[in-house]
Amino acid sequence: MLAEAERCYRRALSYDPDYAEAHKGLGLVAYKLGDRALATQEFKKYLSLRPEAEDYGQVENYLIELGATRLPKRARMVTKDVAVSPQAFSYRNVKFVPKRAGVQVIGEITNRSGMDLRKATFLLSLYDMRRRLLGVEEITINGFEDGQTRSFAILSDAAFDEIADHKIEYDSGS
3-state secondary structure of 118: strand
Assess whether pLDDT exceeds 80 at residue 140: yes
What is the predicted pLDDT for the residue at 11? 93
Mean pLDDT of the chain: 82
Q: How confident is the model at residue 87, as a pLDDT?
A: 54
Adjacency order of strands within the sheet including 149-156:
82-83, 89-99, 102-111, 149-156
The pLDDT value given to residue 48: 81
Q: What is the DSSP string of 25-73?
A: HHHHHHHHHT-HHHHHHHHHHHHHH-TT-TTHHHHHHHHHHTT-----H
Domains and CATH numbers, the chain: 2-76 (1.25.40.10), 82-173 (2.60.40.1620)
Query: What residues contact 131, with CB distance under 8 A and at least 6 apart?
Result: 165
Q: Which tens digit of pLDDT belongs to each residue from 54-112?
A: 777 788 878 877 887 565 544 333 333 333 444 578 888 889 888 888 899 999 998 88
Asked whether 110 and 90 are in contact (CB, 8 A), the reply is: yes
22-41 tens-digit pLDDT: 999 999 999 999 999 999 99
pLDDT given for residue 13 in this prediction: 92
